[in-house]
Amino acid sequence: MRYLIAVGIYPPEIGGPSTVIQELVKQLKERGEQVTVVTYGEAREVSEVMNVPRTGGVVARYSRFFLTVRKLLTPDTLVLATDVFSVGIPVRLALVGKSNKMMLRLGGEWFWEDSVEKGRIFVPLKDFWRNDRGSWRRRFAKLNYGWQLKRAGKIAVTSELLGGVLQSICPQAAGKIQTVSNFVKPQACAAEAVTRPHTPLRLLYVGRFARVKNVPFLARTIKVLADGGNEVACTLAGDGPTIAETRKILGQVRHTIFLGNVAHEKIAELLGENDLLVLPSLTDICPNIVLEALACGVPVLMTKEHGLSPGLGGVIELPPTDQAAWMAAIRRISESDEYGRLRAQISLPDKPQLDLSELLTAL
């Protein structure tokens, strides 16, 4: 059997969103399957990868990707696409008139995120698609989703949240959607199994400084706490468009550290040095950093708009724009025995029974 995997970035950056695709390619090759990866970027020394230049406008890029996929298709090729726009549209066009089986693997919802990043809207993912009228962009995106979801034989998503959103966009896809959630093994961290936090409480944010991540909201919350005499220490790792705004808000707040981008292998060490991971995203469809924190024995204060399995232990979920609720939770954890109870409750989801390679080969 031949497999053609279309992905936006490959190989991924360490810990990047297509790490799972790299693992899938490895599994298929170990079984002796023929695998070709089509991706955007400059040529690299990876034998199974076909690189499509990213230069030029959208039409030029999509056309080159379409032609590359079309040339590689044989009657026995199974196709996996990893989004519905820059990869999905040219792949879907390449399959016109072909009988090849296709699977979509979607880890996020790019159109909502792009709308938030460009300032068109600032609402959580589910609210965004509940009110999908009035925008030609949204109508086009919905048509594009339907065009691809109906063609796919199977649709793998990283969370039930994303699966529900896709089903609301295209009800005909309901029977094809299967959740293949991410899994992180427990690991040792530098931190001891303490029951009380540091003084002041040490908060850690790790991730992109994108509008959907809502970091300025976290910064304003910390500043209000500090102005009211409730100081916390906060370490922020990452980079992105909202980092300047975040720095400005926290400019006069003590115990604040900006680390910039941090190598993935250093994250466990960072987690071990802090008391609490904070994740205030508008919506986080698949927040692996939460699983990594729990695997290290570090509790999490996070948005309630997320795609992780329900009932995780050691997690407090809060509305992503309710500053009073976030302040109250941070004060409670700092000033009572709540921290010890929260840490004692930490648990991770069970390993998924189905992985991506099994789903693809069963297409």
3-class DSSP state for residue 284?
Answer: strand
- Domain identity same for 52 and 126: yes
> What range does the domain containing 139 cover?
2-183+352-361
Quick one: tokens of 216? 């300025």
- Domain identity same for 151 and 41: yes
pLDDT at residue 238, rounded to an integer:
95
3-class DSSP state for residue 213?
Answer: helix
- Structural domain tally of the chain? 2
CATH code at position 254: 3.40.50.2000
- Domain identity same for 145 and 210: no
The closest alpha carbon to 306, from 287, 292, 329, belongs to 287
pLDDT at residue 43, rounded to an integer:
66
Q: Are the beta carbons of 282 and 303 closer than 8 angstroms?
A: yes
Within 8 A by CB and 6+ apart from 310, the residues are: none
pLDDT at residue 44, rounded to an integer:
64
- Domain identity same for 15 and 161: yes
Cα gap 18→107, rounded to integer Å = 9
The DSSP call for residue 200 is S
Q: Let me know if residue 192 belongs to a domain.
A: no
The DSSP call for residue 105 is E
pLDDT at residue 146, rounded to an integer:
95
Q: pTM for the full model?
A: 0.88
Q: Could you list the pLDDT tens digit for every one of the 363 residues in the chain?
A: 899 999 988 765 434 445 778 888 888 999 999 999 999 987 665 667 899 998 889 999 999 999 999 999 999 999 999 999 999 999 999 999 999 999 999 988 999 999 999 999 999 999 998 876 668 888 899 999 999 999 999 999 989 999 999 999 999 999 999 998 776 666 655 455 566 888 999 999 999 999 999 999 999 999 999 999 999 999 999 999 999 999 999 999 999 999 999 988 899 899 999 999 999 999 999 898 999 999 888 999 999 999 988 778 999 999 999 999 999 999 999 987 889 999 999 988 777 667 788 888 888
- Domain identity same for 319 and 356: no
Q: Let me know if residue 190 belongs to a domain.
A: no
pLDDT at residue 203, rounded to an integer:
97
pLDDT at residue 14, rounded to an integer:
39
Within 8 A by CB and 6+ apart from 318, the residues are: 301, 302, 303, 304, 325, 326, 329
Helix (H) or strand (E) holding 249: helix 243-249
Cα gap 309→184, rounded to integer Å = 13
3-class DSSP state for residue 357?
Answer: helix
